[in-house]
Amino acid sequence: MRVWQVAVVLNLTFAVGLGLGYAGWGRRADALDREFEAARAQVERLERERQACAAGGRAGEQQWDGRGVVRAIYPHLVVVTHEEIRGLLPARTTGFPAASPQLGDSVRVGDPVRFSLRGTLIDDAALVTIERW
Amino acid sequence: MVVWGRLLLLVALGSGIVWLLVRTALFEGRAQAALEPRAVLHAVLDTWPGLIWLARHGILVILAAFLAIRSDLTERRDWIAARVEALALGALALALMSASSHAAAISPGTALTVAIDACHLLGTGVWLGGLVALGALLRAASRDADADDRAHAVMAARRFSRVALVAMLALMGSGVLNALAQVENIAALVGTPHGRLLLAKVAVLVPILGLAAVNRRRLLPALPGPEAMRRLVAFVGVEAMLALVLLVLAAAMTLTTPARHAEPVWPLPVRLSLDTPLDGSATRWRALLASQLAVLGAVALIASFFSLRRRAPLLAGALALAAVAAAVGLPPFVVDAYPTTYRRPLRTYHATSIASGSAIYWGQCAACHHGTPADLRSASTSRRHAGELFWLVSHGRPERGMPAFENRLEEAQRWDVINFIRALGTAAGSKSLGAQVQLDGAWLIAPDFTISVGPLAPGALRDYRGRRMVLLVLYTLPGSRARISELARKYNLLSTLGVEIIAVPMQTSADAIRELGASPPVLFPVVTDGNAAIIATYGMFASGPHAELLIDRQGYVRAIWRDDTGEIQVQVGRLNEEKSVPPFPDDHVH
């Protein structure tokens, strides 16, 4: 075999090796990363659904737990400055609809609280429990 | 040459294996790990430098296999293929080193710095690799009486001269860019081991360039004369030896902390300060005279490039003029310097640090430094580097009766005092800041502070940088109640305009939110812990029972209301209309 042919075969092998390496391993690694993230999100969602189910929620509902400070109380709305609620909201001040009008009676403005939200999405998540921290 | 190539490749592979074993021992923190296959595999497969090592040595093995082929290169196509393939594989293996070098640690702009570093390595490879080969060829040809061999050696020398010129330009250009990225400033250049190694490299490069210039201008045109050939062999040999010294220095640089991350130790008793005011007519005349002499020197320098016959006297004249200009013009700008002049503060410019510094200052410094000729609010103090103040605080000024605080205060406390002195200096200027935002007038850095709301995970002022303006409200109840209610009602509108309100009661209270009442609901953050530090710091800019400070998105205080009548909305509108955006302030004072 001539030297130039060796060089061509070598470079082709190198390029094909890189390509196959990426196709067989690099893309697989990317896909595994995505699958892992999706599986983790799924596990977290299932855990929230299990919590909601154990607390008497309907099928498909999830339960999120959070910590915050009460800023305002209305019969059907409690405004809370809260830490990040994993899987739902970043740290900020949010008004949550109260599942029952009496829910806000147990706390006052300025109280640090632990609370639970239940729903299928942020749009229908409602405050189901709130207690002084 | 092929034999040499094979031998050098074996050296590269062998040294690479040794490097891997040493790295494994360092990575694991124990010497015996170098001999444990599992630890070595871990270092190769689970670390970025290990993966780069694997890729590089894979390529070197392919190159070794290619060079091991005993082949017939009589056909031109084969000859070209053999050289291009070897060159490409060698260049790839060399350039890959950049992917795990200091350059790869720079962010953002990693791709650019790695590309520049790769260019530097390739330039070195072409120049030094060719130089050693040329030296061997010239030496062989100078011994050989065969005229054909000499002719080939002369042709190779002339060709290499052109290639080396391009490689050296690439090498120096990429070296300068590398230095700008890794060293960043003069203090890091002269005050850190990494910077000093770079200076040593430049010092070795100068004679190399001198030899190269002599070779190119004098010896190459005189070839193939025997005397020129003999001297060229000697000069190339010296150049190659100096180049090996360069390589050793470069290798040492890879083992030192990059200068931009190291603490510089200023080696001189003086430094140049361009902040020095030109007070007095004598100083101004000196500066004017020096600038004119420097211009004349520059003209002489430019003229020397165009005049072959008078080049030497013109160059000498340019140097003399530059020296005289420096001697006349620089003295007013020369100020005292200390080993810590360019040291980075240990503490960030944070309200907690400033408040701590304030307590120390009023307890231990104010008696001599407040309202006296040695007042630390003076302009001369603000012109000093933080590192200089650190030195003076640590070692005192015995000639002026100032004691050393090195043994009285912890290092962090001394930096706290310096942060306070900086805040004190800017506080005097903050009186000029009023209720109107001055467009493009961002200068008063808002010290960072911790925002604690109840027992929640605390945030910080700097979390808002680049995202939202902040209206910092320092308030006292019951006087501020009406204003807080007004802000609570406007919160939605201000929030829409990009403003977050952060309320800080003058007195720390865990019940601060409750004390504001439920109607109207106050929904912006109200700080319930750490108020004292915020009040002590921002109280220097705006004292009184109620004050409001508007901080722009970049982190500068842009307007101050020392009462509760501020037209916030109008000033926020002005800030929103501002077109030029100042850079984010540094987290440390300078």
Which residue on chain B is closest to A94 by alpha carbon?
A: B523
Model pLDDT for residues B531-559, shown as the tens digit of each residue: 999 999 999 999 889 999 999 999 999 99
Contacts of A71 in chain B (CB under 8 A): 513, 521-523
- Are B254 and B278 in a shared domain? no
- With 70 as the cut, is the pLDDT of residue B277 above it? no
- Identify the pLDDT of residue B285: 83
Q: What is the CATH number of the domain that holds B393?
A: 1.10.760.10
- Are B249 and B198 in a shared domain? yes
pLDDT confidence tier of residue B352, bands split at 50, 70 and 90: very high
pLDDT confidence tier of residue B226, bands split at 50, 70 and 90: confident
- Are B83 and B113 in a shared domain? no
- Identify the pLDDT of residue B422: 93
Distance from CA of A34 to the nearest CA of B (A): 20
Q: Is B345 among the domain residues? A: no
Residue A14 touches chain B, beta carbons under 8 Å? yes
Q: Is B213 among the domain residues? A: yes
**Inter-chain residue contact B512 with A79, CB threshold 8 Å:** no
Neighbour order of strands in the sheet with A126-132: A92-97, A77-82, A62-74, A112-119, A126-132
Q: Is B584 among the domain residues? A: no
- Identify the pLDDT of residue B46: 86
Q: What percent of chain A has pLDDT over 90?
A: 48
Residue A93 touches chain B, beta carbons under 8 Å? yes
- Up-side HSE of residue B549: CA atoms within 13 Å toward CB? 26
Q: Is B222 among the domain residues? A: yes
- With 90 as the cut, is the pLDDT of residue B283 above it? no
Which residue on chain A is closest to B69 by alpha carbon?
A: A3
Which of these, B378, B364, B448, B379, lies nearest to B414 by C-alpha position? B364
> Hey, what amino acid is at B519?
S
Cβ pair B293, B324 in contact under 8 A: yes
- Identify the pLDDT of residue B421: 93
Chain B positions contacting chain A at CB under 8 Å are: 62, 66, 69, 71-73, 75, 77-82, 84-85, 453-457, 459, 511-515, 517-518, 521-525
- Are B472 and B361 in a shared domain? no
Contacts of B511 in chain A (CB under 8 A): 110
Q: Is B13 among the domain residues? A: yes
Residue A25 touches chain B, beta carbons under 8 Å? no
Contacts of A3 in chain B (CB under 8 A): 69, 71-73, 78-79, 81-82
- Residue that terminates a domain, selected from B100, B129, B161: B100
- Are B550 and B490 in a shared domain? yes
Alpha helix stretches (DSSP H) within B349-447: 351-360, 366-369, 379-383, 386-395, 411-430
Model pLDDT for residues B465-504, shown as the tens digit of each residue: 999 999 999 999 999 999 999 999 999 999 999 999 999 9
Which of these, B295, B370, B283, lies nearest to B330 by C-alpha position? B283
- Identify the pLDDT of residue B147: 64
Model pLDDT for residues B102-146, shown as the tens digit of each residue: 888 888 888 999 999 999 999 999 999 888 888 888 888 877 666
Model pLDDT for residues B499-536, shown as the tens digit of each residue: 999 999 998 888 999 999 888 899 999 999 999 999 99
In this complex, the residue of B72, B456, B511 whose CB is nearest that of residue A67 is B456
Model pLDDT for residues B34-62, shown as the tens digit of each residue: 889 999 999 888 888 898 999 999 899 88
- Are B179 and B258 in a shared domain? yes
**Inter-chain residue contact B521 with A72, CB threshold 8 Å:** yes
Q: Average per-residue pLDDT in chain B?
A: 89
- Identify the pLDDT of residue B149: 73
Distance from CA of A59 to the nearest CA of B (A): 32
Q: Is B480 among the domain residues? A: yes
Parent domain of B289: 270-336
Which residue on chain A is closest to B457 by alpha carbon?
A: A83
Contacts of B459 in chain A (CB under 8 A): 91
**Inter-chain residue contact B514 with A110, CB threshold 8 Å:** yes
Q: ω before B339 within 30° of 0 (cis)?
A: no
**Inter-chain residue contact A4 with B81, CB threshold 8 Å:** yes
Contacts of A14 in chain B (CB under 8 A): 62
- Cβ–Cβ contacts within 10 Å for residue B270, how many? 14
Q: What is the CATH number of the domain that holds B548?
A: 3.40.30.10
- Identify the pLDDT of residue B584: 93
**Inter-chain residue contact B75 with A6, CB threshold 8 Å:** no
Q: List domains and CATH numbers for chain A.
A: 62-132 (2.40.50.320)
In this complex, the residue of B82, B454, B456 whose CB is nearest that of residue A3 is B82
In this complex, the residue of A71, A108, A110 whose CB is nearest that of residue B523 is A71
Give dist(CA B526, CA A71) in Å, integer. Answer: 10
Q: How far is CA B506 from CA B55, B222, B289, B361, B453, in A?
A: 61, 86, 56, 21, 15
Task: List the pLDDT tens digit at each of the 133 positions of chain A.
Answer: 788 888 888 888 888 888 888 887 888 888 999 999 999 999 998 999 998 888 887 888 999 999 999 999 988 899 999 999 988 899 999 999 998 888 889 899 999 999 999 998 878 889 999 999 8
- With 90 as the cut, is the pLDDT of residue B254 above it? no
Cβ pair A54, A85 in contact under 8 A: no
- The count of CB pairs under 8 A between chains A and B is 84
Which of B67, B77, B456 to mutate: most A Cβ within 10 Å?
B456
- Residue that terminates a domain, selected from B100, B134, B151: B100
- Are B130 and B248 in a shared domain? yes
- Are B289 and B387 in a shared domain? no
**Inter-chain residue contact A10 with B66, CB threshold 8 Å:** yes
- Are B146 and B66 in a shared domain? no
- With 80 as the cut, is the pLDDT of residue B225 above it? no
pLDDT confidence tier of residue B305, bands split at 50, 70 and 90: confident
- Are B304 and B247 in a shared domain? no
Query: What does residue B443 show for φ and ψ, rounded to 5 degrees?
Result: -145, -30
List the beta bridge partners of residue B271: B335
Q: Which two tokens stand for residue B492?
A: 């939605």
- With 70 as the cut, is the pLDDT of residue B279 above it? no
- Are B457 and B533 in a shared domain? yes
- With 90 as the cut, is the pLDDT of residue B205 above it? yes
- Residue that terminates a domain, selected from B305, B336, B367: B336
Which residue on chain A is closest to B71 by alpha carbon?
A: A3
- Are B260 and B141 in a shared domain? yes
Domain tally for chain B? 5
- With 70 as the cut, is the pLDDT of residue B278 above it? no
Model pLDDT for residues B323-335, shown as the tens digit of each residue: 999 888 888 888 8
- Identify the pLDDT of residue B156: 87
Q: Is B588 among the domain residues? A: no
Q: What is the ipTM of this complex?
A: 0.73
Q: Is B540 among the domain residues? A: yes
Distance from CA of A113 to the nearest CA of B (A): 9
Q: ω before B258 within 30° of 0 (cis)?
A: no
